[in-house]
A and B are shown apart, each in its own frame.
With several copies, the nearest count.
Chain A
C-alpha cells in the first residue's frame, strides 16, 4: 500500500497549519468508519493525528434525536498536535440533530457541511428545532454548505442494483470523498481499503467507490471551495508507512502492552475482568486473541476478577485486571492481599466521573487517592498514569515490569478520555522492549519464601508445581524471612516498614520527567494523566505569547521520582492542573511541603487549551 501514498499535485493548494474536523450524524450513518478512515489517511500521508469518538449515551436513543448522535473528531497537523482539538474548523453534519449538538464547538467562520436532504420537518422536530437552521439566521457566523448528499448519492448509484436503503448507506462515502478532495488524500488508498473491507460484497465495494468519487468530483466541480487545503506534516515525528501503523485507543494499547510484556517475560498472560465502562475494551481486545498463552476470564464480578488474578499471579502468570472506579472500590480488599502476599499484579483502572455511579460516560481523574489509599492498613504500591493513548502501552508495560521486578501489585491509571481517543502507533517489536527478567525460585535447599533480594527487596517467586518449594501464603502477617504466619509485634512493624521501603526504593530508579516550555520560568505547571496534551499546548502557547511557563507531567505518581522535590523547588510558583479537586496537589503538598496551587476542572471533559491558559494567567496575575 505504501508506494501509493505520495502526495498529489500540490501546486495550487493553500497550506493549513492544522485541521480539526468532526463527522457527525445518526448512529446508523457510518460516522465512526468515515472518521477513522480519514484519520488513517491523514496519518499515512505524514500528519500527526489525534481522534476522539463521541458515542451516543449508553442506552440507545431513537434515530434522529440528539441522544442518538454519533460523532468522530479528528485533529491533524504537525508536531504540535497533542489533543483532538478544542474547537472545530469543519463540521460535517449528516442530520439536524448532529448539527445541533455540535454547533457550539465550531469556530466562528468555520465550515459547516450539512446533508440538507435530512432536514425534514420530522427530523427538525426530533432535534428540537422550531425552524430550520438552514433558513433562519442562526448559522450566520459560519460558512455553511448545504448539500443534497442523499440525492446526489442516489443519483450516482442509480442502476447499481442496490435498494434505496442500501444506496443511502453509501452517503458517508460521498462525504468522505468531498473531504478527501478538500484536504487532499490519496484516492487509491481509499479504493484499496474499500475493496478489502467489502471483498465479499463487491456490489457494495463498487457503490462505495462510486459514492466516494462522486463526492470528490463534486468538490472539484461544484466550486464551493476555491482550492483544496494542504495540511502541514509532521517534521520531528517519524511516520511509519507500513501496514503495522494503526490507530490505537488507550484501551487497545493497554491490552497490547499486556500481551507484549507477558511474551517478553516468557510468561502466560492472565486477565480476570468484569465489564465496566470505560474499561471493558481492555478485556475485549484480549478476548479476540486466540492463543494458548493468553487466558482471559470474565468473572462473575470484580471481586472474582481480581481474586482470579491474584491466583494467577501465585501460579506464575503475568496477571492483570482492568476496571473503572466503582470496580476498583470493590477490589481494594484483594489488592491488599496481593500487597501482603507480595505477588505481581497489573491493575488497570480506567477512570470515569464519580462519586458512585456518577457520570459513567464522562472522564475524570479522581481515583488517584483511591488508588493510593483505598485499602485497610498500611498498603503501599506503585501507581503509574498514562498521558496519551499510546502511553497506555508504555505505562502498562512498565507496570508489568515493576510488578515482576518488585513482586508487587501496580496500579495504572488511565481514563475515559484516553480509553476512547486514538493516535497512530505501531506495536513495538519484541527486541525494542525493555527486558522483563523472571527468576522463578527453583532451589529447594535453604528456600525461604520471604528472603529478599538485597537490591529490590523483592521476595522470590516460587510457583506451585515446583518440587520442594511448597509453602503457604495468605493475608496474615508474615515472619520477615520464612514467610510463616507471625503474630509478633516487632516483626509486624518490621514488615510494615519493609513493604513501604520496597516501594519507596523504586523512586531512585525513576527518571525525572522532562521539563517542557521554559525551564527558567518562575511558574511551574504540573500535570498527570490524560491532560498532557492540553497542558503542553497551553504551555507552548503561553511561552509563545511571552508568558514564561515551565511544565512537567508526571507518569510515576507513587513513588515520585527521586529528585522531584528539588526540581520543583526551583520554581517560585507551582500550579497543579487536574480533573479533580486537587488529589495530586495534596500529595505534593504533603510530601514536599510546597504551596502548590490548583487548577481544577470537574466537568466530565478534559481541559481545553484556552481554559488552562486563562486559569494559569489568572493565577499568575494574582500572585504578582
Chain B
C-alpha cells in the first residue's frame, strides 16, 4: 500500500497537529482522526500534498487536528472548494471531511455533483445521524421516530441512504465503515488513497452527546459479527458469530440463509463483486438493513473510469 517509499518514514504522529481536539470526550471523531492519520502515514504521500477540506460541523473541525494543508470552509460547500483545489493542482491528494447535515442537507447538491463528475476527490461522510455542532437537531439521516431538539415528537422524514445516493450519483469508489473498527477504516482509507476518481466513504460515527449508541446494534463488538456483513470483493457473503449465515439471490430477491441448512453450501452464496461496471448489485446491497438483513460494511463499488478535469 505504500506508494512513495521515500517519505514512508512519516508516522501517524507526524500527521497530527499540535492543536488539542475539542470534541466531546468519547466522540467517534477521535477514532476516525486516528485512522485517517494512520492511513496518511501508510500512503507515504508527503504532508504538503495532502489537503483536507471540510464544511462546518463537529466533524468538520478535523482539519485543525491534522498537520496537512487544510481548509475549513462553509457549511455544505467543501466539495466545491475541493474541486477548485484539485483542478488547479492535480498533484494534490484532496480529502473532504463532512457531516450528515453538511454533506446531505445543505450540501447535498455538491456531494451529488462531484460524484457525478467522478472528480478525483475523496469524501468522508461522518454520519452521526444528528446535527452535532448546533446541539442536536435532526439531520437527513436521522432515523424515523428519533426525538431531537428539532423533532420533539419524533422524526417523520424518510432518511437519505448515503450509499444509495453515492451509487446513483456515480461515485467510482463507495464504501461504508464505522468508528469502532479502526482496522476496517484504515484498510478502506488505504485503498481510497490509491483510487483515482470520486471516493465516497460513509463512516458511522457515534455522537455521545446528542445521539449516543445510535449504531451499537451493528458496531458493538458483541453484535458486530451477527448483525453486520463484511463485503470483500470476490468473496462469498458470509456473516454470523460462527460465520454460519450467508446471503443468496433468489429470483432477484436477496435472502438470508443458514449455511448447511436446506442443502445450502458456501457455493450457493452471492459473491461480492465490487469491480462490476453494473451497479445493480451494489444498489441492492445498499438497501439491506438490520434486523431483516445484516448491515453491510466495506467497499460496495470500486471501478476505474475517466476522471474529471
A residues lining the B interface (CB < 8 Å): 57-63, 67, 268, 270, 272, 274-277, 280, 283-284, 287-288, 290, 295, 297-317, 319, 326, 333-334, 337, 341, 356-357, 463-476, 484-485
Contacts and interface: CB of A to CB of B under 8 A. Distances in A.
Contacts of B309: 295, 297
B306 to A, nearest CB: 16
Given A465-B91, A466-B48, A314 B134 contact: no
Contacts of B76: 301
A313 B133 CA distance: 28
Contact of B22 (A59, A275, A464): A59
Nearest to A468: B48
Contacts of A297: 83-84, 87, 309
A315 B85 contact: yes
B89 A315 contact: yes
29 contacts: A57-B22, A60-B23, A280-B134, A284-B137, A290-B153, A295-B87, A295-B309, A297-B83, A300-B106, A300-B110, A304-B83, A307-B77, A311-B84, A314-B84, A314-B85, A315-B92, A317-B84, A334-B74, A357-B56, A464-B69, A466-B48, A468-B48, A470-B47, A470-B68, A471-B70, A472-B70, A472-B72, A473-B70, A473-B71
Nearest to A268: B88
Nearest to B109: A300
Interface in B16-74: 17, 19, 22-25, 46-49, 51, 53, 56, 58, 61, 63-64, 67-74
Given A300-B140, A473-B70, A310 B84 contact: yes
Contact of B84 (A60, A277, A307): A307
B4 interface: no
B48 A311 contact: no
A472 B88 contact: no
Contacts of A284: 137, 149-150
Contacts of A306: 80
A295 B90 CA distance: 12
B81 A311 contact: yes
A310 B81 contact: yes
Range of interface residues on B (Cβ < 8 Å): 35 or more
A300 B68 contact: no
Nearest to A467: B48
A485 B64 contact: yes
A467 B83 contact: no
Interface of B: 17, 19, 22-25, 46-49, 51, 53, 56, 58, 61, 63-64, 67-77, 79-89, 91-92, 105-106, 108-110, 113, 131-135, 137-138, 140, 149-153, 209, 309
Given A61-B22, A303-B80, A314-B71, 17 more contacts: A57-B22, A59-B133, A268-B88, A297-B309, A307-B74, A307-B77, A310-B84, A311-B82, A315-B89, A326-B74, A333-B74, A357-B56, A464-B92, A466-B48, A467-B47, A470-B68, A472-B72
Contacts of A276: 134
A277 B81 contact: no
B80 A299 contact: yes
Nearest to A309: B84
Given A298-B137, A300-B108, A62 B85 contact: no
Interface centre among A463, A467, A472 (most CB of B within 10 A): A472
4 tightest CB-CB pairs across the interface, nearest first?
Answer: A311-B84, A307-B80, A474-B72, A308-B84
A60 B25 contact: yes
A307 B48 contact: no
B113 to A, nearest CB: 4
Contact of B80 (A57, A311, A319): A311
B81 A307 contact: yes
B254 to A, nearest CB: 31
A301 B106 contact: yes
A325 to B, nearest CB: 12
Given A288-B152, A464-B49, A470-B67, A314 B74 contact: no
A315 B25 contact: no
Contacts of B24: 59-60
Nearest to A298: B150
Contacts of B87: 270, 295, 297, 308, 312
A298 B138 contact: yes
A473 B72 contact: yes
A357 B73 CA distance: 9
Contacts of B113: 299-300, 304
B105 A301 contact: yes
B128 to A, nearest CB: 13
Contact of B88 (A62, A303, A317): A317
Nearest to B62: A472
B59 to A, nearest CB: 10
B100 to A, nearest CB: 12
A287 B53 CA distance: 27
Contact of A465 (B71, B83, B89): B89
Interface centre among A283, A310, A313 (most CB of B within 10 A): A310
B89 A337 contact: no
Contacts of B25: 60, 62-63
B3 to A, nearest CB: 16
Nearest to B63: A472
B70 A295 contact: no
A280 B149 CA distance: 10
Given A307-B80, A308-B83, A59 B58 contact: yes
Given A304-B80, A307-B84, A466-B48, A59 B74 contact: no
A251 to B, nearest CB: 13
Nearest to B23: A59
Contacts of B84: 270, 272, 297, 307-315, 317, 319
B125 to A, nearest CB: 16
Given A270-B88, A275-B131, A308-B84, A472 B69 contact: yes
B274 to A, nearest CB: 28
A101 to B, nearest CB: 16
B89 A307 contact: no
Contacts of A58: 133-135
Contacts of B134: 58, 275-277, 280
A284 B149 CA distance: 7
B64 A472 contact: yes
B132 to A, nearest CB: 8
Given A307-B84, A312-B85, A474-B71, A465 B140 contact: no
B190 to A, nearest CB: 21
A300 B105 contact: yes
A337 B74 contact: yes
B150 A287 contact: yes
B133 A301 contact: no
Given A270-B87, A274-B106, A465-B89, A311 B71 contact: yes
Contacts of A468: 48
A622 B106 CA distance: 51
Contacts of A464: 48-49, 51, 69, 85, 89, 92
B198 to A, nearest CB: 14
